[in-house]
Amino acid sequence: MNLTLKVWRQKNADTKGNFVTYKADHVSPDMSFLEMLDVVNEDLVKKGDDPIHFDHDCREGICGSCSLHINGRPHGPKQGIATCQLHMRSFKNNDTVVIEPWRAEAFPVIKDLATNRSAFDRIQVAGGFVSVNTGGVPDANVIPIPKVIADEAFNSATCIGCGACVAACKNASAMLFVSAKVSQMALLPQGQPERYRRVQAMVAQMDAEGFGSCTNTGACEAECPKEISITNIARMNRDYFTAKLFKEEEV
Amino acid sequence: MKLDAKIPEGPLAQKWSKHKFNLKLVNPANKRKYTVIVVGTGLAGASAAASLAELGYNVKAFCFQDSPRRAHSIAAQGGINAAKNYQNDGDSVHRLFYDTIKGGDYRAREGNVYRLAEVSVNIIDQCVAQGVPFAREYGGLLDNRSFGGSQVSRTFYARGQTGQQLLLGAYSALNRQINLGKVKMYTRHEMMDVVTVDGEAKGIVTRDLINGAIETHAAHAVLLCTGGYGNVFYLSTNAMGCNVTAAWKAHKRGAYFANPCFTQIHPTCIPVTGDHQSKLTLMSESLRNDGRVWAPKTVELAQKLRRGELKVTDLKEEDRDYFLERKYPAFGNLVPRDVASRNAKEMVDEGRGVGASGIAVYLDFAEAIGRLGEDTVRAKYGNLFDMYQQITDENPYKQPMRIYPAVHYTMGGLWVDYNLQTTVKGLYCLGEANFSDHGANRLGASALMQGLADGYFVIPYTLGDYLANIGPKAVDTSHPAFEETKRSVVERINKLLSLKGTKTANEYHRELGHIMWEYCGMARTEEGLIKAKGLIQALRADFWQNARVSGINEEFNQNLENAGRIADFLELGELMVDDALDRKESCGGHFRLESQTDEGEALRDDDNYAYAAAWEYKGDNQPEQLHKEELVFENVKLSQRSYK
| pLDDT at position A251 | 63
Facing B86 at nearest CB: one of A58, A141, A143: A141
| Residue A248 scores a pLDDT above 80 | no
Is A184 within 8 Å of B504 when comparing Cβ atoms?
Answer: no
Q: Which residue in chain A has the smallest CA separation from B237? A: A58
Same domain, residue pair A105 and A123: no
Which of A88, A111, A134 is where one domain is finished?
A111
In a domain, B223, yes or no: yes
In a domain, B307, yes or no: yes
Is B66 within 8 Å of A48 when comparing Cβ atoms?
Answer: no
Chain B residues with CB under 8 Å of A227 CB are none
| pLDDT at position B59 | 98
Same domain, residue pair A10 and A92: yes
CATH of the domain at B293: 3.90.700.10
Same domain, residue pair B335 and B421: no
Range of the domain at A218: 118-246
C-alpha dihedral over B590, B593, B595, B596, to 10 degrees? Answer: 100
Q: Which residue in chain A has the smallest CA separation from B175? A: A125
Same domain, residue pair A85 and A175: no
Q: Which one, of B552, B537, B503, lies nearest residue B620 by Cα? A: B537
Same domain, residue pair B523 and B619: yes
How many beta-carbon pairs under 8 angstroms link A with B? Answer: 215
Facing B51 at nearest CB: one of A29, A60, A134: A134
In a domain, B638, yes or no: no
Q: Which residue in chain A has the smallest CA separation from B552? A: A50
Respond yes or no: is residue B337 known to be catalytic. yes
Chain B residues with CB under 8 Å of A28 CB are 273-274, 276
Same domain, residue pair A93 and A213: no
Q: Which residue in chain A has the smallest CA separation from B180? A: A125
Q: Which residue in chain A has the smallest CA separation from B559? A: A51
Facing A137 at nearest CB: one of B66, B125, B165: B125
Q: Assign residue A186 a region: left if phi > 0, alpha if psi is -120 to 50, beta otherwise? A: alpha
Cα–Cα dist B205/B216, whole Å: 5
In a domain, B635, yes or no: no
In a domain, B485, yes or no: no
Facing B75 at nearest CB: one of A12, A58, A110: A58
Chain B residues with CB under 8 Å of A61 CB are 387
In a domain, A165, yes or no: yes
Same domain, residue pair B146 and B292: no
Q: Strand, coil or helix: what is B219?
A: coil
Chain B residues with CB under 8 Å of A111 CB are 555-556
Chain A residues with CB under 8 Å of B51 CB are 133-134
Q: What ipTM score was computed for the predicted complex, to two decimals? A: 0.98
Give the gap in angstroms from C-alpha B4 to the nearest C-alpha of chain A.
Answer: 29
| pLDDT at position B376 | 87
Same domain, residue pair B58 and B161: yes
Indicate the pLDDT class of residue A250, thresholds 50, 70 and 90: low
Is A50 within 8 Å of B551 when comparing Cβ atoms?
Answer: yes
Give the gap in angstroms from C-alpha B634 to the nearest C-alpha of chain A.
Answer: 31
Is A12 within 8 Å of B556 when comparing Cβ atoms?
Answer: yes
Same domain, residue pair A103 and A124: no
Is B128 within 8 Å of A143 when comparing Cβ atoms?
Answer: yes
What's the average pLDDT block by block, 10 residues per block, for chain B (644 residues)?
93 98 96 98 98 98 98 93 97 96 95 98 98 95 84 89 96 98 98 97 98 98 98 98 98 98 96 91 86 96 95 95 94 86 95 95 96 89 88 95 97 98 98 97 94 98 98 96 98 98 97 98 97 98 98 98 98 98 96 92 96 97 97 94 78
CATH of the domain at B530: 1.20.58.100
Is B175 within 8 Å of A121 when comparing Cβ atoms?
Answer: yes
Cα–Cα dist B470/B481, whole Å: 19
CATH of the domain at A207: 1.10.1060.10
Same domain, residue pair B183 and B298: no
In a domain, A169, yes or no: yes
Cα–Cα dist B369/B373, whole Å: 5
Indicate the pLDDT class of residue A22, thresholds 50, 70 and 90: very high
In a domain, A107, yes or no: yes
Q: Strand, coil or helix: what is B256?
A: coil
Same domain, residue pair B461 and B599: no
Same domain, residue pair B102 and B221: yes
Same domain, residue pair A128 and A105: no
Is B129 within 8 Å of A32 when comparing Cβ atoms?
Answer: no
Cα–Cα dist B438/B492, whole Å: 34
Among residues B337, B524, B583, B641, the one annotated as catalytic is B337
Same domain, residue pair B109 and B201: yes
Same domain, residue pair B465 and B584: no
Same domain, residue pair A107 and A171: no
Instruction: For an interface test with B, give the residue of A14, A28, A45 to mutate (most B CBs within 10 A).
Output: A45
Is B240 within 8 Å of A126 when comparing Cβ atoms?
Answer: no
Which of A85, A111, A137 is where one domain is finished?
A111
Is B161 within 8 Å of A140 when comparing Cβ atoms?
Answer: no
Same domain, residue pair B192 and B133: yes
Same domain, residue pair B51 and B146: yes
In a domain, A251, yes or no: no
Is A130 within 8 Å of B134 when comparing Cβ atoms?
Answer: no
Same domain, residue pair A142 and A233: yes
Q: Which one, of B65, B558, B242, lies nearest residue A120 by Cα? A: B65
Give the gap in angstroms from C-alpha A208 to the nearest C-alpha of chain B.
Answer: 16
Give the gap in angstroms from C-alpha B592 to the nearest C-alpha of chain A.
Answer: 31
In a domain, B241, yes or no: yes
Cα–Cα dist B142/A150, whole Å: 10
Q: Strand, coil or helix: what is A100?
A: strand
Is B276 within 8 Å of A28 when comparing Cβ atoms?
Answer: yes
Strand partners, B414: B257, B434
Q: Which residue in chain A has the smallest CA separation from B275? A: A31
In a domain, A186, yes or no: yes
In a domain, A60, yes or no: yes
Which of A111, A135, A167 is where one domain is finished?
A111
Same domain, residue pair A66 and A150: no
In a domain, B6, yes or no: no
Chain B residues with CB under 8 Å of A56 CB are 240
Q: Strand, coil or helix: what is B552?
A: coil
Same domain, residue pair A107 and A131: no
Chain A residues with CB under 8 Å of B391 CB are 32, 85, 87
Tell me how far CA of residue B597 lies from CA of B263, B323, B327, B600, B603, in angstroms: 21, 18, 14, 5, 6
Domain count, chain B: 3
| Residue A247 scores a pLDDT above 90 | no
Tell me how far CA of residue A98 lies from CA of A11, A75, A95, B347, in angstroms: 18, 12, 10, 44
Rg of chain B, C-alpha, whole Å: 24
Same domain, residue pair A86 and A151: no
Which of B362, B379, B404 is where one domain is finished?
B404
CATH of the domain at B255: 3.50.50.60
CATH of the domain at A84: 3.10.20.30
Facing B129 at nearest CB: one of A35, A44, A132: A132
Domain count, chain A: 2
Facing B67 at nearest CB: one of A32, A120, A127: A120
Range of the domain at B395: 268-404
Same domain, residue pair A242 and A131: yes
- Are A157 and B210 contacting, i.e. CB atoms less than 8 angstroms apart? no
Cα A81 to the center of its chain, rounded Å: 12
Instruction: For an interface test with B, give the residue of A25, A129, A154 to mutate (most B CBs within 10 A).
Output: A129
Q: What are phi and psi of B68, to 5 degrees?
A: -60, -25
Chain A residues with CB under 8 Å of B141 CB are 141, 144
- Are A98 and A160 contacting, i.e. CB atoms less than 8 angstroms apart? no
